[in-house]
Amino acid sequence: MTTPRGFRDRADDSLLTLLGEIPELIRNLVIAEIDAAKAWLAKTAKDGGWGALWAFAALFVLFWSVPVFGTFVIAGLSSWWPVWLSALVVFFAMLIVTAVFAIIGVVYFRRIGERRNPVQSIALDVKEVRDEL
């Protein structure tokens, strides 16, 4: 006899029959979970690939827009100063901005080294427990 959803009614099965089907049910469950993980990984990898592609495209456009903006600033400053002086001012301003960004980056990288690794923390806890025993 089957249920309305198409599953077999197991109410009349003996205990040994039910216990005998456990390995098959577990195998089916494991296979279904692996298939679900594969599907999730495929979708995630596809979305990640497309996201990386669009991020690269945005960085490409940004890379070429920086010189355009610099030219715009140089052209604007050249209405008051000579062109060579405007170009030098923009160049040194970009060097200063680059130095500030580099210093900020170094500060953040140093923070990584200062943090405590969770694995090291667990190892330290285990060592302290051993010392107490």
DSSP 58-118: HHHHHHHHHHHHHHHHHHHHTTTS-HHHHHHHHHHHHHHHHHHHHHHHHHHHHHHHHSPPH
Nearest alpha-carbon partner for 105 in 115, 97, 117: 97
pLDDT for the residue numbered 89: 94
What is the predicted pLDDT for the residue at 5?
65
Cα–Cα separations (whole angstroms), residue 6 to 2, 24, 106 = 6, 18, 63
Residue spans of the chain under pLDDT 50: none
Model pLDDT, residue 22: 85
Classify residue 2 by its DSSP letter.
B
pLDDT of residue 116: 67
CA 131 to chain centre: 39
**Residue 126, pLDDT score:** 78
Place of tokens 């197991």: 10
Reported as a single tens digit per residue, the pLDDT across 110-124 is 887 777 666 676 777
HSE-CB of 116 using CA atoms within 13 angstroms: 7
What's the pLDDT at 124?
76
Please tell me the predicted confidence (pLDDT) of residue 32. Answer: 87
pTM value > 0.75: no
- pLDDT at residue 108 in the model: 87
CB distance 90 to 74 below 8 Å:
yes
